[in-house]
């Protein structure tokens, strides 16, 4: 049996690999933010009292939440929203959660386009 992959299939592998690198990059950003905020392990997020005492705690929560959100959305991200996730990470990691909006919106737009294209392709393959 011979496995024949369509032209351009290497882009699927590139998308998967690039998403892995984005997650590693996000992980690397968590440690320094955690140390700056003084959040001990295994505490996942800064609590309200810590947020009031230390501005770095909000930034840490944003960096941590950005990574967690990527993990929550990884099945969708793997479709090919990596560049949008980079913009999302940079914006969210500032400690100003509203700055994640550009990356979030472009990622959602990309996702809808990809889902529409995938749906058309499946319909064509299955019914025509």
Q: What CATH number does the domain containing 113 carry?
A: 1.20.120.550
4 part of a folded domain: no
3 part of a folded domain: no
pLDDT for 47 equals 97
Read off the tokens for 22: 């984005």
pLDDT for 80 equals 58
Measured CA to CA, the distance from residue 73 to residue 23 in angstroms comes to 12
Looking at beta carbons, which pairs linking 111-115 to residues 24 or more positions away fall under 8 Å? 111/76, 111/79, 111/81, 114/79, 114/80, 114/81, 115/79
Instruction: Give how many domains the chain has, as a whole number.
Output: 1
pTM over 0.85: no
pLDDT for 17 equals 82
Alpha carbon 66 to chain centroid, angstroms? 7
Measured CA to CA, the distance from residue 70 to residue 3 in angstroms comes to 32
5 part of a folded domain: no
Read off the tokens for 39: 């959040």
pLDDT for 79 equals 63
Give the single-character DSSP code of 94: T
Structural domain of 75: 10-127
pLDDT for 77 equals 67
Ranges of the chain whose pLDDT falls below 70: 77-80
Nearby residues of 76 by Cβ (< 8 Å), 6 or more positions away: 111
Measured CA to CA, the distance from residue 41 to residue 15 in angstroms comes to 32
């Amino acid at each position: 049996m011979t496995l024949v992959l369509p032209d351009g299939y290497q882009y699927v592998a590139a998308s998967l690999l690039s998403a892995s690198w984005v997650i590693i990059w996000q992980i690397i950003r968590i440690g320094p933010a955690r140390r700056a905020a003084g959040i001990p392990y295994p505490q996942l997020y800064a609590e309200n009292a810590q947020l009031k005492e230390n501005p770095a705690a909000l930034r840490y929560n944003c960096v941590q939440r950005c990574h967690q959100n990527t993990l929550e959305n990884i099945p969708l991200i793997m479709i090919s929203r990596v560049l949008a996730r980079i913009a999302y990470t940079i914006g969210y990691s500032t400690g100003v959660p509203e700055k994640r909006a550009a990356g979030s919106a472009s990622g959602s737009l990309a996702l809808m386009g990809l889902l529409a294209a995938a749906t058309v392709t499946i319909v064509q393959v299955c019914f025509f």
